Amino acid sequence: MSTFARDKYTWATYGVFALLGFVQSSLGPILPTLREELGFNYAVGGLHLSAFALGALLASLAAPRAVGVLGLRRVLWLSVCGMAAGCLLLAAGRSVTVTLLATGVIGVFTAWIVGAVQALLSAHHGANRTVALVEVDVAASLGSFVVPLAVAAAQWVGVGWRAVLVSAAAAGALLTASRGRMRFPRRGSPSPDEPRDGPLRIGYALLLVFSVVAVEWSVGFWAATVLHDRAEAGMATAAAGAGAFFGAMLAGRVLASVLVRRVTASTIMTAALSLALAGYPFFWFARTPELAVFGLLVVGLAIAPLFPLAISLGLRHSPAQPVPVVARMGVIGAFAILAAPYSLGELADRLSLFAALGAVPVLLLLAAVALHLDDRRARLGEALAPPAAKRASRVPAYEISR
């Protein structure tokens, strides 16, 4: 692997992802207050995230065509502006219909941001894409870590959670104005021992993405609610306590960004899944805020690197085709966000919140199985692949500078 270098283009994507993490993670901490204001139940609360995920799912399906018409750069900055508009709509919402529409709008544009940034970084850094993908998620985790604290501070000060969303919209406008004209050059290339073309055999990687996204969003979205309803924490305390999860994810991704230069992605994921399974019961069975926060710390630290590493493992099967690979993973990830948290809300209404949370260990075990199968497929592909010198080199068909 060549030396990994962060240039102005890399830093621009990191800034966008920090804002993305802030906006995405705002839905969970504001949910308890929103439920009280508008008077809806757990299932309708989960439906907000489902609206977000449905928007993301539709956007991911349309992503290759949008990129083909506009180019990755234009899709990226158009989406930053669209995400900001969604934040303003959510802040203005005084009915469930408006708030559902707003979360759907945010879902559309955040999905395009995720896909554009991952494809840009993969094309720009080539064989170093794993480092770039983990580091950009460090930026997202930083944004996620800040938002529960911002929501809690807004509640304590008295300005309300809507001021947090307005601030996010202003940050999006500022980023677009200052960085929107940058043209990303294609400098990286796949390493010589990686396949350059061929069918996208990423089925197990897609299952892995589904599992880890479902876990991350289920725990992150319902963390504040669990702290408030099961651990009997106050509203502001629950929002701040949920920040432990995002803070641990930030620490976990920083750690992963160091380890990924020395240890394989599969090894890191195996250790992380084991730690998550060991730590989750502390959160699941907690009846006090202290024990719940401890569980969130362990789980957040463990699952932090799972999503970016799953994306990287999927890209290893076809690194010269980042846009279709990322688009398919975006569809599966959006479906996981659509299905998992809402299903937990339905189970919580029908059974109990405790029973619903039992789905998370099942998803972690499913991720472990998918990882094993994907590694086996990758090893088989390496054994059957022709020598690198016989492989034809193709330039991907997607223009990244437009």
208-224: pLDDT as tens digits: 999 999 998 888 878 87
Between 108 and 393, residue with greater pLDDT: 108
Give the model's pLDDT for residue 184: 65
Average confidence (pLDDT) over 350-370: 90
pTM: 0.72
Average confidence (pLDDT) over 294-306: 90
CB contact set of 323 (below 8 Å; sequence gap of 6+): 63, 64, 67, 72, 115, 119, 396, 398
Is the pLDDT confidence value at 396 over 50?
no
Average confidence (pLDDT) over 170-188: 76
Give the model's pLDDT for residue 270: 93
Give the model's pLDDT for residue 198: 44
Give the model's pLDDT for residue 101: 93
Is CATH 1.20.1250.20 the right assignment for the domain spanning 8-385? yes
Is the pLDDT confidence value at 151 over 60?
yes
CA–CA dist 310, 318 (Å, integer): 14
Give the model's pLDDT for residue 381: 59
Is the pLDDT confidence value at 190 over 60?
no
Average confidence (pLDDT) over 275-291: 87
Counting residues of the chain whose pLDDT is more than 90, the rounded percentage is 21
CB contact set of 372 (below 8 Å; sequence gap of 6+): none
Give the model's pLDDT for residue 78: 92
b/e burial code for range 146-165 (CB count within 10 A of at least 16 → b): bbbbbbbebbeeeeebbbbb
| Domain range summary for the chain, segments of one domain joined by + | 8-385
Q: pLDDT grade, residue 157 (50/70/90)?
A: confident
Average confidence (pLDDT) over 83-99: 90
Name the strand (E) or helix (H) holding 25: helix 8-38
For residue 208, the Cα-to-chain-centroid distance in whole angstroms is 14
Give the model's pLDDT for residue 170: 93
For residue 262, count other CB atoms closer than 10 A to its CB.
8
Is the pLDDT confidence value at 386 over 70?
no
Average confidence (pLDDT) over 336-353: 82
Q: pLDDT grade, residue 321 (50/70/90)?
A: low
- Give the CA distances from residue 89 to residues 92, 93, 226, in Å, rounded to whole numbers and listed in that order: 5, 6, 27
The 10s digit of each residue's pLDDT in 246-267 is: 778 888 988 988 888 888 888 9
Between 280 and 141, residue with greater pLDDT: 280
Q: pLDDT grade, residue 271 (50/70/90)?
A: very high
Average confidence (pLDDT) over 5-25: 86
- Give the CA distances from residue 197 to residues 165, 218, 317, 324, in Å, rounded to whole numbers and listed in that order: 42, 35, 9, 12
Collapsing DSSP to helix, strand or coil, 399 comes out as coil
Q: pLDDT grade, residue 341 (50/70/90)?
A: confident
Is the pLDDT confidence value at 169 over 70?
yes
Average confidence (pLDDT) over 328-338: 84
Q: Which of 47, 220, 75, 253 is nearest to 148 (CA)?
A: 220
Between 22 and 345, residue with greater pLDDT: 22
Give the model's pLDDT for residue 105: 94
